[in-house]
Structure 1
Amino acid sequence: MSDNGARIERLSPRRRGTVDYMRTAGQRSNVHGLVEIDVTEARQRLQTIEAETGESLSFTAFVVSCLARSIDDHPRVNAYRDWRGRVHVFDDVDVNVLIETTVQGERMGVPHVLRGANHRSVRSIHDEIRTAQESPDPTELPRMGQLALRLPGVVRRLVWRLPQWFPRRWKTMAGTVAVTSVGMFGQGGGWAVAPTNYTLQLTIGGISRKPRMSDGAVTTRAVLDLTVTFDHDVVDGAPAARFVQRLRELIENAHGLRS
């Protein structure tokens, strides 16, 4: 359908679901931290692994592995507060990642939950991401799901209240933490700040070359722009800062990547 040269298209049910998610997430007490992390060592080790094996490991899988290990050391960030004011702290780190794949002939980012990431290797996480990317349509919904997306918006948005009402149900459906990679859609540095319904979300931005002190001399290093988002209703500033420091240490030391 067109009008005076403009094309008018219907909003897809999936897009309505995204709108519902963002509107609900915007009502949370989210705090965003913009962090720069030196990933020179990690990228060099990834290149070495590719040269030795002929296969490149996913950078996102590496970050997910570091995230899960950091949460093992600071489990209070892997928690949700329910409607009774109780805090549910989960042992398993179930990471919801944004994966670029083909849906109905188009390349787009879709969610996929990596279960128990804190008990898995980078290789295991990488293999599951690759399998999800090669799936024909990992977001195909059953008929009941399709009908649910056609309900009035005020009813549809109730599902995104699950983290505040029933944390265990939210864990089963959507994981406990989220990672989204804006950097996979472009080149160069830069941050992205997005609302979220998770207590903790990492948004992987771009990687740029910047001067940094290394071994007493100024050298050019690969620097990752990373946004760390917390729900301040669950996580206070000091625990959040300690978690970010541990995450930085693991990423900069190329945790999980053999020498």
Structure 2
Amino acid sequence: MDKIGKYTTKPFKRKFQEETTLFSRNRFYMTGLLETDITEARRIFACYKETKGTSLSFTSWVAKCVAMAIDENKKVQAAKKGRNLIYFDDVDISVPIEKIIDGKHFPSILVLRKANEKSLQQLHDEIRAAQYPDKDERITTISRKKIDFLFSLPKFIRKLIFWRRLRNNPFYLKKMNGTIHLNPLGMFAKGTYGWAINLGHHPVNVIIGGISEQPRIIEGKLENREILNIALKFDHIIIDGAPATRFARKLVDLLKTAAFLE
């Protein structure tokens, strides 16, 4: 009797993800799991779609709120270089996206540069343009060729010219991947309650979790509200609990009050 059965063999094309996972061991994260009421924000999003005939990017709104919360608490995006801490003025947010080219989906990373200085509409336009590239298709191809070339090299060379530099040089990390990471993982699990936790290699990681209806007491009355789960991860070697808490409090307040939407 054949105990193996039929199977298919395909090339392993996730070397970058594999090495990113190993690289994340250099961070010692403390994690906070938060909930915030976004009922008002969801109402505005629905009205926007009804009047404009198109959807406003939820990720762009969260990115705007994250950027402004960081802008008031820039200590949380500090980066360590030797015996010094580097405090960047710019809030550069790294966001994983799927580029859609000729109907095919390609995973990619978009860095929203100076997100703290941009409007919500600008962030929305930037994300949409990156997801549906036209003239940008050539750049996408070049980027993929660079990654393919990097991973054609022996692993010890990659460690020397890329991963070690990424770990020890915060200016290189900012140039390549921004100052913080925002992962909209929950957007792929709508209606699901719960948090998502990634690994990451930034000083700050914000992970959007599920959105679900839950009962809440509002002004003495029981109501169904739309609740967003968010996970926050901070490199505890660099960031203390107090500034991390202040950032978290500000972020929750901005999301709850539907900031920047009206």
Q: CA deviation at 1:147?
A: 1.8
Cα separation, 2, equivalents of 1:99 and 1:137: 17
Q: CA deviation at 1:170?
A: 1.2
The one-letter amino acid of 2:109's match is P
The one-letter amino acid of 2:154's match is P
Is 1:45 the counterpart of 2:44? The answer is yes
Corresponding position of 1:7: 8
Contact 1:74 1:243 in 2 (8 A): yes
Name stretches of at least 5 consecutive residues in structure 1 with no aligned partner: none
Q: Which structure 2 residues correspond to residues 215-234 of structure 1 after superposition, within 5 A?
A: 215-234=219-238
Cα separation, 1, equivalents of 2:41 and 2:179: 26
CA offsets, 1:23-61, max 9 Å, x none?
A: 110331012111111111111111122222222211100
Contact 1:76 1:235 in 2 (8 A): yes
Contact 1:79 1:87 in 2 (8 A): yes
Corresponding position of 2:188: 185
Name stretches of at least 5 consecutive residues in structure 2 with no aligned partner: none
Cα separation, 2, equivalents of 1:204 and 1:131: 21
Contact 1:81 1:163 in 2 (8 A): no
Is 1:58 the counterpart of 2:57? The answer is yes
Q: CA deviation at 1:5?
A: 1.5
Cα separation, 2, equivalents of 1:38 and 1:75: 25
Cα separation, 2, equivalents of 1:233 and 1:200: 12
Corresponding position of 1:68: 67
**Which among 146, 149, 152 is matched to residue 147 of structure 1?**
149
User: What TM-score comes out, normalization by structure 1 length?
Assistant: 0.91
User: More displaced, 127-136 or 67-76?
Assistant: 127-136
Corresponding position of 1:107: 105
**Which among 181, 192, 205 is matched to residue 201 of structure 1?**
205
Cα separation, 2, equivalents of 1:227 and 1:162: 28
Q: CA deviation at 1:9?
A: 1.3
Corresponding position of 2:158: 156
Aligned length: 253
Contact 1:163 1:198 in 2 (8 A): no
Change (3 A) 1:139 1:17: farther
Cα separation, 1, equivalents of 2:164 and 2:102: 29
CA offsets, 1:174-214, max 9 Å, x none?
A: 11111111122222122111111100111111101011122
Change (3 A) 1:142 1:34: closer
Cα separation, 1, equivalents of 2:125 and 2:197: 28
Contact 1:104 1:137 in 2 (8 A): no
Cα separation, 2, equivalents of 1:239 and 1:219: 33
Q: CA deviation at 1:63?
A: 0.2
Change (3 A) 1:101 1:252: same
The one-letter amino acid of 2:72's match is D
Contact 1:24 1:157 in 2 (8 A): no
Percentage of matched positions with identical amino acids: 34
SS at match of 1:101: strand
Q: CA deviation at 1:80?
A: 0.5
Cα separation, 2, equivalents of 1:49 and 1:57: 7
Contact 1:21 1:157 in 2 (8 A): no
The one-letter amino acid of 1:112's match is L
SS at match of 1:6: coil
Cα separation, 1, equivalents of 2:237 and 2:164: 15
Corresponding position of 2:115: 117
Is 1:166 the counterpart of 2:169? The answer is yes
User: What TM-score comes out, normalization by structure 2 length?
Assistant: 0.90
Cα separation, 1, equivalents of 2:32 and 2:217: 23
Cα separation, 1, equivalents of 2:232 and 2:258: 19
Change (3 A) 1:189 1:160: farther
RMSD between superposed Cα atoms in Å: 2.0
Cα separation, 2, equivalents of 1:256 and 1:144: 37
